[in-house]
Chains A and B, each alone.
Chain A
Amino acid sequence: MKKITFNPKKTHTYVRAAIQLLFFLFLPSAFTTAFSGIKYIFTQIGSKNPIAWTTFLTVLLALCAYTILFGRFFCGYACAFGSLGDAVHGLYIWICKKCKKKPVQMKKGWKKPLSFLKYGILLVIALLCFTGVYGSMTGWSPWDVFSMIQAGNFKLGGYILGCVLLLLILAGMAFCERFFCRFLCPMGAVFNLLPIFPLFSIRRNKESCIKGCSACQRCCPSDIELPENGSWMVKNDCFQCQKCIQICPKKNAKSGRLFFRGNEIWFTVLRAAVLAIVLILAGI
C-alpha cells in the first residue's frame, strides 16, 4: 500500500481544488447568470425595449470588471462549468493511469482553429436573442440541463437535445483539458474580447530557463508560451490556473507583481475571497 502523504509541491493543486469545490457548491450559477446579462441586452435591443438594471446585468458587469483587473481568474477557479471540466478531465487521466493506458488527446493542430468556434457561438446566440427567436427555443441548451441537474430538477423530458449536447461536451472535456472553455464557451469569448490589465498576469525570466524546457507551455491548458518579465503582453486565453508556477523546475514563472512573488498561493486565496464577495454583493 502506498502511503498518502502531503506533498508540499502540490499545495497549489490542493488549494485550487478546494476553491473550485467551494465555488461549485455555493456559487454555481455565476456563469449562466452573467451570460443571461449578455442575452438580456440583445433581447431588449432586438425588441426595442429599454435596458433596465437587473441582477443579470449587475453580475455581468461585476464579472467583467473583475476580469479586466485580475484576468480570467473566475474561469480558472470559480466557474462551475470549468470546474466540471477539470473534474472530468482529471477523472479520465486518473482512470487511464490506473488502467495503464495512454490517455487519448486531441490533436494539437485542431486547437487553434477550434478556438474561434466560441465567437461563432456567441454571435449566433446574440443574433437569436436579437431576432427574438431565442425565447421560443427550448430544450436545446446544455447549460439549462446542467443548471437543472444542479438545482435538483430531473424532469429533463423536453431536454433531450440539451442532454445529448451536454454529454458530447463532457466527452470533449475528458479528451482535452478546458475543452469547453477554450472552444465553445460564449462567455469565454466575451472575456477574450475584454481588455485585461497586465498587472497580475504571469511572467517568466526566460534567460534563466533550462535550455529546451517547455514544461510551463506543456502543462498549460491553453498552450500559452509565457511572456517575458517586464513585457506588457497579456494572453487573454490564460485562465490564471497557476499550474505553470507550480511546475517550473527553476521557479521562473511568477506573478508579474513584485509584492506577490513567492506568495502566489496567498494571492490566489485573496483573489478567490474578493471574487466571492463581489459575486455575493452582485446578487447571486
Chain B
Amino acid sequence: MGTFGIKLLNLLMAVAVILGYNVTLRNREQTETIAELEFELENQKFLTSQNQEQGETESKYQDGVYEGQAEGFGGMIAVQAVIENNMIAELNIVSAEHEDEAYLKAAAAVIDSMLEAQSAEADIVSGATFSSNGIIHAAEEALRKAEEAK
C-alpha cells in the first residue's frame, strides 16, 4: 500500500501543478486584456478624431475555390480554400489518406490561426509537426492560386 499511496500523491500533485499553471496563466492573460482594454478606452477619444477614414485593405485573393497539396506525415494532404468577398472564408482538409487521425485533428488547429491571420502563416502544432506543415504548405499553394487568379 505504501508505494501506491506515494504514487497516487505524486499523480495528484502533478495534476494539481498543471491545473494551477493553467489557471494562473489564464488569470494573467485576463488582467493583461483588461489593462489593454482600459488603455484603448483612454485613447479612444484621441483616436476617434483621427481615425476617420482608413479604407478597406486591398485583398490579394480572387473569389473562388482553390485547392493545394503538400506532403504530410504519411502522404499527401489536400487543402481547399474558399475565398468569398476577397476573404479566406474557409479552409478545408479535403483528403489526408495516410495521416494519423489523432495527429491530423491536433494539426487542424493551424487552420483557425490561418483564418484569423487571413494568410497561410501559422505556428505549427508541437507534436504534430509533419501534419501541421502539410496543412500549411497545402494552404499556401491553394492561396497562391487564389492570388494568381486576381
> Which residues does A use to contact B, with CB under 8 Å?
29, 33, 36-37, 39-41, 43-45, 48-51, 54-56, 59, 129, 135, 138, 147-148, 151-153, 193-196, 198, 232, 234, 283-284
The distance from the CB of A47 to the nearest CB of chain B, in whole angstroms, is 8
When C-beta atoms are compared, the residue in chain A nearest to B29 turns out to be A50
Min CB distance B110 to A, Å, is 12
List A contacts of B22 (CB < 8 A): 50-51
Residues of A near B4 (CB, < 8 A) are 195-196, 198, 232, 234
Q: Mark B103-138, 1 if CB is under 8 A from A, else 0.
A: 101100100000000000000011111000000000
**Whole-angstrom distance between the Cβ of A148 and the nearest chain B Cβ:** 7
The answer to whether A153 touches B74, judged by C-beta atoms less than 8 angstroms apart, is yes
Taking CB atoms, residues of chain B closer than 8 Å to A195 are 4-5, 7-8, 11
Selected from B25, B105, B127, the residue in CB contact (under 8 A) with A43 is B127
Question: Which residue of the partner chain, among B21, B75, B102, B109, contacts A153 with CB atoms under 8 Å?
Answer: B75
Interface size range of chain B in the complex:
20 to 34
Extra pairs beyond A33-B100, A50-B26 (12, CB < 8 Å): A37-B127, A40-B126, A43-B127, A51-B18, A54-B105, A55-B102, A56-B106, A138-B129, A148-B73, A151-B99, A193-B11, A195-B7
Specify which of A45, A151, A194, A232 is in contact with B21 (CB 8 Å cutoff).
A45
Partner of B106, one of A50, A55, A196, A198: A55
8 Å CB contact of A51 from B21, B101, B129:
B21
Chain B residues with CB under 8 A of A49: 25
The answer to whether B25 touches A50, judged by C-beta atoms less than 8 angstroms apart, is: yes
Q: Is there contact, CB below 8 Å, between A151 and B126?
A: no
Q: Which of B106, B127, B129 has the most CB of A within 10 A?
A: B127
Q: Are B21 and A283 in contact (CB under 8 A)?
A: no
Q: Which residue of A lies closest to B17 (CB)?
A: A45
Say yes or no for B10: interface residue by CB 8 A criterion. Answer: yes
A residues less than 8 Å from B5 (CB atoms) = 195
